[in-house]
Amino acid sequence: MKKKLIAGNWKMNGTLAANEALVQALLAGAAGNDCQVSVCVPAPYLAQVQQLLAGSGIDLGAQDVSQHEAGAFTGEVSAQMLRDFGVRYCLVGHSERRQYHGESDAVVAIKAQRALAAGITPVVCVGETLAERESGLTEEVVKRQLAVVIHTNGHGISEIVVAYEPVWAIGTGKTASAEQAQQVHAVLRNQLRAATPQADKMHILYGGSMNAANAAQLLAQADIDGGLVGGAALKSADFLAIIAAAQ
Ligand code: PEP
């Protein structure tokens, strides 16, 4: 049976001391759990967290990757560099990257391709804004976002993770209801089924104000294979409670 995947997105938070305390608490609390766990950390802390996680069952993740392979791209971090630090997962197309850094669907698809080529699993984020939901465009938007990734990556698509993150639910405390989330996940699953025979084995995560109180209901839905967790991933007790809800 497919294990749930719970991925924490620390965003631009952390210090050496805070990271160490958080990871030590996760290592102590998550031991023996029966799901896949990952933490996506800011790039400067990859080396630190790689060391802290060494030999544990928790995987290291990054929050972004360059669309370029190497060269004169000041400030960028390549997929190969992430690989050097043992990165297993990399978020691509997070709504904060799309919104504040103008990342288009095409750029997101190329980033996913770079990650795959380096042996890293891209966690491709899709999701509609509130205005798009209120205009009845939710399905159209998420299908368009995923279609470009499918088109660019061909057979590689079976190796990605998809994260449905309604933009209006990220960091707002507003969660999609379990039914709303499941409805969109089913649409994404069907789109993946049309692209690969592996679709049912793939993970589709829900993200958007997931917390200790709502995780169990969301994670019980047929097509919700895990969570992408922002704010609640910064507090060990909350993150551990979500991991427990995923068992
Ligand atoms: C995220 O950043 O991917 C996220 C889902 O954030 P939050 O859980 O804080 O809404």
> Measured in angstroms, how far is the CA atom of residue 233 from the centroid of ligand 1?
9
> Measured in angstroms, how far is the CA atom of residue 47 from the centroid of ligand 1?
23
Q: Whose CA is nearest to atom 4 of ligand 1?
A: 230
pLDDT over 90 (residue 156) = yes
User: Under a CB-based contact definition with an 8 Å cutoff, are residues 211 and 205 in contact?
Assistant: no
Q: Is 8 in the pocket of ligand 1 (CB under 6 A)?
A: no
pLDDT over 90 (residue 1) = no
d(CA 224, CA 39): 19
> Measured in angstroms, how far is the CA atom of residue 72 from the centroid of ligand 1?
32
The token duo for 219 is 């994670």
* Tens digits of residue pLDDT in 42-97: 999 999 999 999 999 999 999 999 999 999 999 999 999 999 999 999 999 999 99
The token duo for 228 is 């992408």
Mutate-to-test residue for ligand 1 from 41, 165, 219, highest number of ligand atoms within 8 A of CB: 165
Mutate-to-test residue for ligand 1 from 13, 210, 234, highest number of ligand atoms within 8 A of CB: 210
> Measured in angstroms, how far is the CA atom of residue 71 from the centroid of ligand 1?
32
Greatest Cα pair distance in the chain: 48
Mutate-to-test residue for ligand 1 from 63, 130, 209, 219, highest number of ligand atoms within 8 A of CB: 209
Strand partners, 110: none
Q: Is 233 in the pocket of ligand 1 (CB under 6 A)?
A: no
The larger pLDDT score, comparing residue 173 to residue 104, is at 104
| pLDDT on residue 33 | 87
Give the Å distances, CA to CA, from 30 to 36, 104, 135, 200.
Answer: 10, 36, 41, 26
| pLDDT on residue 247 | 87
pLDDT over 90 (residue 9) = yes
Q: How confident is the model at residue 32 (pLDDT cuts 50, 70, 90)?
A: confident
The token duo for 57 is 């069952």
Q: How far, in whole angstroms, is CA 102 from its chain's centroid? A: 19
Torsion sign over Cα 117, 118, 121, 127: negative
| pLDDT on residue 107 | 98
* Tens digits of residue pLDDT in 197-244: 999 999 999 999 999 999 999 999 999 999 999 999 999 999 999 999
Strand partners, 44: none
| pLDDT on residue 168 | 96
* Tens digits of residue pLDDT in 173-203: 888 999 999 999 999 999 999 999 999 999 9
| pLDDT on residue 169 | 94
User: Under a CB-based contact definition with an 8 Å cutoff, are residues 77 and 66 in contact?
Assistant: yes
